[in-house]
Chains A and B, each alone.
Chain A
Amino acid sequence: MASDDIAPVKKPFRWHILVFLLPATAVYTVVMIFPLLSTLYQAFFSQTWAFVGLGNFEQLFGDPRLSASFWNALRNNVWFFIIHMLVQNPIGILLAALLSNPRLRLRGFYRTVFFIPTILSFVIVGFVWKLILSPTWGVTSGMLKSIGLGFLFQPWLGKEEYALTTLALISNWQFIGIPMMLIYAALLSIPDEVLEAAECDGITGWSQFWKIQLPLVLPAIGIVSILTFVGNFNAFDLVYAAQGAQAGPNFSTDLLGTLLYRTFFGYQLQLGDRALGSTIAAVMFLIILAGVCIYLFGIQTRLRRYQM
């Protein structure tokens, strides 16, 4: 066997490579890639397996009721993503920046605690917040009253105009650990010499963060953004756990994931529709693919990387 890598001229077929690759590739292909392709393929067929070309897409975008619910879900999903980018990621970066200071005591404690919400399941997170924000229980309204802000309280999850934003903020609370950790890791990998040089030039504190550290961790922020995008555009569980498959009130928290679930499985009197479900999955696939391509070719290649 030793001859394998040393004498590349007269190699026998290296079976072991196949043996090493086969199990992973087989499971991955059969359970993930094949169903993905099959779902995309089924988007071109009717419920009765007749080929309909783009008929399902025409129905999805042409039928007034269907297209209204699709655009509603897409709009909600975009807003959901915007809140994550505006709230979750900046707070994550701030926490990471504070934690990356080598003089800070209790760093390990804070890191561990900030990641706890991330390990909880959506069922727990959805319900915990539903209970805490519930007007029946009155935890939130009680706390607001005790600091004289009782008039601010609203049943946020129950009102159409607030429910989606509230859910997005709950999701931020849950996942803040991920941007924090990734940015923290990137900040730690900045060599000390760079920071010392900055200090010699009198750049310290916040200006050091803005001028030196932030530009150096931009690639990590890019990765965090694309992970957020992919995660948000197939989100389902939190809405399902907190508001149910109906994504109430009045579909105001409907995301593409919950729409896919309802369309494929049906709800109340509406029967499940495999063809339309596949069509929505195909549209979601295109949206995610477009986002990933924009990131890979438009953003990632333009981010300046520094050899550190």
Chain B
Amino acid sequence: MGPGLRRGDTERGESTMSKATYSPGRAIAAHAVLIAYTVVALFPVFVIIINSFKSRKAIFGSPLSLPFGDAFSLVGYETVFKRGDFLLYFQNSLVVTVAALFFVLLFGAMAAFALSEYRFRGNTLTGLYLALGIMIPIRLGTVAILQLMVASGLANTLWALILVYTAQGLPLSIFILSEFMRTVSDDLKNAGRIDGMNEYKIFFRLVLPLVRPAMATVAVFTMIPIWNDLWFPLILAPSEATKTVTLGAQMFIGQFQTDWNGVLSALALAIVPVLVLYLIFSRQLIRGITSGAVK
């Protein structure tokens, strides 16, 4: 691992240098604010999850009580599994997210390597061209994207979404990864060249393993908006067979407005997978942000 890569990882909390005077009063005040905001941040998620396990009567009678005893009921989940094809939606979301993520990481890393490793005419210009997409949202091209997908027969296929999300994710991933690739030691790459490795081997065998932490960060950043997107599934692939979980939940909720048990269970089902993934990857995400990749 290049020495430059780890530098940002040490947070100030682990250093012993700061000797700020920090009175217990101030600490209590800080915790009071932070705990208050914790309640604000978690309250809606809490309300949905507890109520998804309750009977209809309990949902309306005492919305804030826990689902124990008489109140406990799984009727909402039964409706969701009977009426909505959530397993299929879930599978669609998974295919789209994983495939787009794969292309974003592979193509993004390749382009980032070319931009950070070689000096050639047009390097800066190519970099700027690829960075445009960080600021200009791809949605503004929706009219022509739909025409393109219809013309190429990709409308209502998962490929339409995969292609769009790949294009959408590339600019930021190239930007972040090329920053990281600049920190990989030149000596190492030159040693590889002297040993007779060609440029492709240097990229795949030497550089890619070294920037794995950065790739994980990019992966998390890319994944969240893809998984949660509503606009492109709604426009490019609204058919029953290609619905993503986000669109499926939206449609289900629209249809079953008055079936509160079903709605709450559908919401809880849509929350849990992302929540679990986030809790697994949150260290990686936070480390990526604080190590300076995005500054």
**Chain A: minimal CB distance from B16 (Å):** 9
Choice from B20, B41, B143, B164 contacting A113 with Cβ under 8 Å:
B41
* CA of A11 to CA of B4, assembled, Å: 31
Closest to A187 in B: B12
Q: Are A25 and B143 in contact (CB under 8 A)?
A: no
Chain B residues near A182 (CB-CB < 8 A): 289, 294-295
Q: Are A102 and B15 in contact (CB under 8 A)?
A: yes
Stretch at the interface among B69-77, B208-216, B274-282: B274-282
Instruction: Flag whether B82 is at the interface (Cβ < 8 A).
Output: no
Chain B residues near A62 (CB-CB < 8 A): none
Chain A residues near B27 (CB-CB < 8 A): 103-104
* CA of A14 to CA of B118, assembled, Å: 10
Q: Are B230 and A185 in contact (CB under 8 A)?
A: no
Interface contacts (Cβ under 8 Å), in number, total: 294
Q: Mark A65-102, 1 if CB is under 8 A from B, else 0.
A: 00000000000000000000000000100110011111
Q: Which of B100-141 contact A (CB under 8 A)?
A: 103, 106-108, 110-111, 113-115, 118, 120, 126, 129-130, 132-133, 135-141
* CA of A176 to CA of B43, assembled, Å: 15
Q: Are A101 and B292 in contact (CB under 8 A)?
A: no
Instruction: Flag whether B67 is at the interface (Cβ < 8 A).
Output: no
Chain A residues near B295 (CB-CB < 8 A): 182, 185-186, 189, 220, 223
Choice from B103, B111, B171, B198 contacting A21 with Cβ under 8 Å:
B111
Count how many chain B residues have C-beta atoms less than 8 Å from C-beta atoms of the other chain.
105
Instruction: Flag whether A20 is at the interface (Cβ < 8 A).
Output: yes
**Chain A: minimal CB distance from B110 (Å):** 4
Q: Are A123 and B270 in contact (CB under 8 A)?
A: yes
Q: Are A2 and B194 in contact (CB under 8 A)?
A: yes
Task: Find the residue from A16, A103, A119, A257 having the highest chain B CB count within 10 A.
Answer: A119
Q: Mark A124-135, 1 if CB is under 8 A from B, else 0.
A: 110111011000
Q: Are B63 and A142 in contact (CB under 8 A)?
A: yes
Instruction: Flag whether A63 is at the interface (Cβ < 8 A).
Output: no
Q: Mark A281-294, 1 if CB is under 8 A from B, else 0.
A: 10011001100100
Identify whether the interface residues of B are mostly helix, strand, loop, or mixed.
helix
Choice from B44, B120, B142 contacting A128 with Cβ under 8 Å:
B44
Q: Which of A95-118 contact B (CB under 8 A)?
A: 95, 98-108, 110-118
Q: Are B224 and A119 in contact (CB under 8 A)?
A: yes
Q: Which of B184-212 contact A (CB under 8 A)?
A: 190, 193-194, 197-200, 203
Count how many chain A residues have C-beta atoms less than 8 Å from C-beta atoms of the other chain.
102
Chain B residues near A147 (CB-CB < 8 A): none
Chain A residues near B230 (CB-CB < 8 A): 121-123, 236-237, 240-241
Smallest CB-CB A-B distances: 7 pairs: A35-B141, A121-B228, A35-B144, A38-B144, A20-B114, A24-B111, A31-B167
A-B contact pairs, 8 of them (CB 8 A): A4-B118, A102-B12, A113-B38, A114-B37, A122-B228, A124-B48, A185-B290, A196-B19
Chain B positions within 8 Å of A, measured between CB atoms, are: 8, 11-13, 15, 17-22, 26-27, 30-31, 33-34, 37-38, 40-45, 47-48, 59-60, 63-64, 103, 106-108, 110-111, 113-115, 118, 120, 126, 129-130, 132-133, 135-145, 147-148, 163-164, 166-168, 170-171, 174, 190, 193-194, 197-200, 203, 224, 227-231, 235, 246, 249-250, 253, 260, 263-264, 267, 270-271, 274-275, 278-279, 282, 285-286, 289-290, 292, 294-295
Chain A positions within 8 Å of B, measured between CB atoms, are: 1-2, 4-5, 14, 16-17, 19-21, 23-25, 27-28, 30-36, 38-39, 42, 91, 94-95, 98-108, 110-125, 127-129, 131-132, 137-139, 142-143, 173, 176, 181-182, 184-186, 188-189, 192, 195-196, 199, 204-205, 220, 223, 226, 230, 234, 236-237, 240-241, 257, 260, 264-265, 274, 277-278, 281, 284-285, 288-289, 292
